[in-house]
């Protein structure tokens, strides 16, 4: 009888444990579903997605061929008509588009609808020439709000959140793009724009902002300012969406620590739509591409041929739903790779790895290819240095010089020359090991490197190698 009672209790406990696991599973499933904005597309089967892409690609090619003299001429040069494009496998037959093409067609030469249908104009900064102009129809703006709604929902945001948009407004796509995406999910929006750090912190604490949108370098700067003011415990921030410039995992850790948030990477560019091309989910194992709107390819930037699946190369994007200014096979110059494995978040869309660098930002120093992100990764390995640095490249007596200025954290900055010398030598040795060339490292005082409220300028190349 005693044995029977023990078995009965044990079975009861087992049943309770099983029921608890089932409830936990469904609770987790419900939570994951609440972080998906548009399940029908974000979780669509691969074959069904391919059919959607095939149809939309054919429609886009037909649209640009008949409405864009630029693309019609490019296709005719290659002997291609819309009839030659049946599936996404035929994408390789189409011509590439590069940034120079967009500048040559300044201002409206790439628009594929009459100006009367363009309801919004954005443009890049144009610091290296004529700005890149982007035109949007009403449908394009709706698409833009849709992909950013997916982005923000993936980070756990909803109508109950208060977004502080600290991207620049105006011609830059970041501010207004994030603004309407947040409104699309029903969230409250503070359109503060970039800069004015004192006001940022005031509104962040007074209004109870829960989500922050800005560049990662400015998020780090805000984090420092919050620490200086001692108001970290007054913040209600829980999440941040950061893009417009490359950043490392180590920088993510710094931002999350300083602002006590979860930091998500988002990707986009003016030429394609703005922010919202791809975004991280809660798994943070790459950025999901909204591939029902943007077709990704990875090519070798030298041969222009597709690379093997999973290999690193240059990201090429084709818009398949845009009306105002569709782009065909736009070479982004961003280096990444694609991942088609299933994601634990439940989405089936292809993911792109965090941007590893840019083929046109690559520095060739003494014959060696060097990316600023490589140097940043090295610097962030050292606990004594802060995530603020600047690279200086020059040429003396026909030989390249390479200097790295990096801030030392306040608690590690000292007059002890031997310890500073030891730190400098360790960093120089690590850079030599990673990139293959020697860099002269200069350890500088905390807060001595200029901060940026927008995209951080990390490199000064005085060699004028590409001077026209």
Question: CA dist 218 to 182, 212, 221, 242, Å?
Answer: 20, 11, 5, 9
Using only C-alpha atoms, the chain has a radius of gyration, in whole angstroms, of: 25
| Pairwise CA distance, residues 106 & 122, whole Å | 13
| Pairwise CA distance, residues 136 & 120, whole Å | 5
Q: Which one, of 438, 443, 439, 389, lies nearest residue 418 by Cα?
A: 443
Question: CA dist 307 to 5, 89, 302, 336, 355, Å?
Answer: 66, 14, 11, 11, 16
pLDDT of residue 364: 76
Q: Which residues contact 192 (CB under 8 A, 6 or more apart)?
A: 164, 165, 166, 199, 200, 203
Burial class (CB in 10 A: 0-12, 13-18, 19+), 217: buried
pTM of the predicted structure, to 2 decimals: 0.81
Write down the residue that tokens 């026909």 correspond to: 398
How do 274-280 and 440-444 pair as beta strands?
A: unpaired
| Pairwise CA distance, residues 348 & 131, whole Å | 36
Neighbours of 464 (CB within 10 A): 9
* Cα 65–Cα 66–Cα 71 angle in degrees, nearest 5: 35
CB 231 within 8 A of CB 201: yes
CB 267 within 8 A of CB 274: no
CB 111 within 8 A of CB 76: no
| Pairwise CA distance, residues 464 & 411, whole Å | 38
pLDDT of residue 228: 94
Q: Which one, of 409, 332, 425, 334, lies nearest residue 373 by Cα?
A: 334
CB 375 within 8 A of CB 435: yes
Write down the residue that tokens 């860099």 correspond to: 439
pLDDT of residue 243: 92
| Pairwise CA distance, residues 52 & 43, whole Å | 13
Provide the residue-wise pLDDT of the chain in tens; the chain has 468 residues.
444 444 455 565 566 666 656 655 555 555 566 799 999 999 999 999 999 999 999 999 999 999 999 999 999 999 999 999 999 999 999 999 999 999 899 999 999 999 999 999 999 865 445 788 999 999 999 999 999 999 999 999 999 999 999 999 999 999 999 999 999 999 999 999 998 999 999 999 999 999 999 988 899 999 999 999 999 999 999 999 999 887 888 889 999 999 999 999 999 999 999 999 999 999 999 999 999 999 999 999 989 999 999 999 999 999 999 999 999 999 999 999 999 998 999 999 999 999 887 777 778 788 677 888 889 989 999 999 999 999 999 988 767 899 999 999 999 999 999 999 999 999 999 999 988 889 999 999 999 999 887 778 889 988 864 333
pLDDT of residue 208: 98
């Amino acid at each position: 009888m005693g044995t029977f009672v023990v078995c009965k209790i044990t079975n009861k406990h087992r049943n309770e444990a099983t029921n608890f696991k089932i409830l936990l599973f469904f609770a987790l499933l419900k939570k994951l579903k609440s972080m998906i904005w548009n399940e029908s597309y974000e979780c669509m089967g691969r074959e069904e997605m391919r059919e959607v892409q095939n149809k939309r690609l054919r429609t886009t090619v037909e649209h640009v061929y008949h409405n864009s003299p630029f693309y019609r001429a490019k296709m005719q040069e290659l002997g291609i008509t819309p009839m030659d494009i049946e599936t996404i496998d035929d994408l390789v037959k189409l011509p590439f588009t590069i940034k120079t093409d967009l500048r040559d067609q300044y201002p409206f030469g790439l628009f594929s609808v009459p100006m009367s249908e363009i309801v919004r104009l954005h443009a890049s900064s144009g610091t290296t020439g004529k700005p890149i102009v982007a035109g949007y129809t009403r449908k394009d703006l709706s698409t833009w709000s849709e992909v950013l709604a997916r982005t923000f929902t993936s980070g756990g945001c909803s109508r109950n959140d208060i977004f502080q948009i600290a991207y620049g407004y105006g011609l830059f796509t970041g501010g207004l793009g994030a603004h309407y995406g947040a409104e699309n999910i029903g969230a409250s929006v503070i359109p503060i724009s970039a800069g004015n750090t004192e006001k940022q912190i005031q509104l962040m604490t007074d209004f109870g902002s829960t989500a922050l949108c800005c560049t990662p370098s400015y998020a780090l700067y805000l984090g420092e300012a919050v620490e200086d003011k001692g108001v970290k415990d007054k913040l209600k921030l829980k999440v941040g969406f950061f893009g417009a410039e490359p950043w490392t995992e180590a920088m993510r850790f710094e931002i999350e620590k300083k602002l006590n948030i979860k930091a998500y990477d988002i990707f986009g560019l003016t030429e394609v739509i703005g922010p919202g091309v791809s975004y991280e989910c809660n798994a943070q194992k790459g950025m999901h591409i909204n591939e029902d709107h943007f077709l990704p390819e990875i090519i070798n930037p030298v041969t222009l041929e597709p690379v093997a699946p999973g290999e690193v190369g240059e990201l090429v994007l084709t818009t398949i739903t845009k009306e105002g200014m569709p782009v065909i096979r736009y070479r982004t110059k961003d280096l990444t790779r694609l991942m088609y494995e299933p994601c634990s978040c439940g989405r089936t869309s292809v993911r792109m790895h965090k941007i590893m660098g840019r083929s046109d930002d690559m520095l060739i120093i003494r014959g060696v290819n060097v990316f600023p992100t490589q140097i940043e990764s090295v610097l962030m390995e050292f606990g004594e240095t802060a995530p603020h640095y600047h690279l200086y490249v020059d040429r003396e007596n026909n030989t390249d010089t390479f200097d790295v200025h990096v801030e030392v954290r306040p608690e590690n900055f000292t007059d002890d020359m031997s310890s500073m010398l030891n730190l400098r030598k360790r960093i120089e040795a690590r850079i030599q090991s990673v990139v293959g060339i020697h860099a002269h490292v200069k350890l500088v005082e905390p807060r001595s490197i200029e901060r940026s409220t927008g995209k951080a300028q990390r490199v000064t190349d005085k060699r004028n190698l590409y001077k026209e």
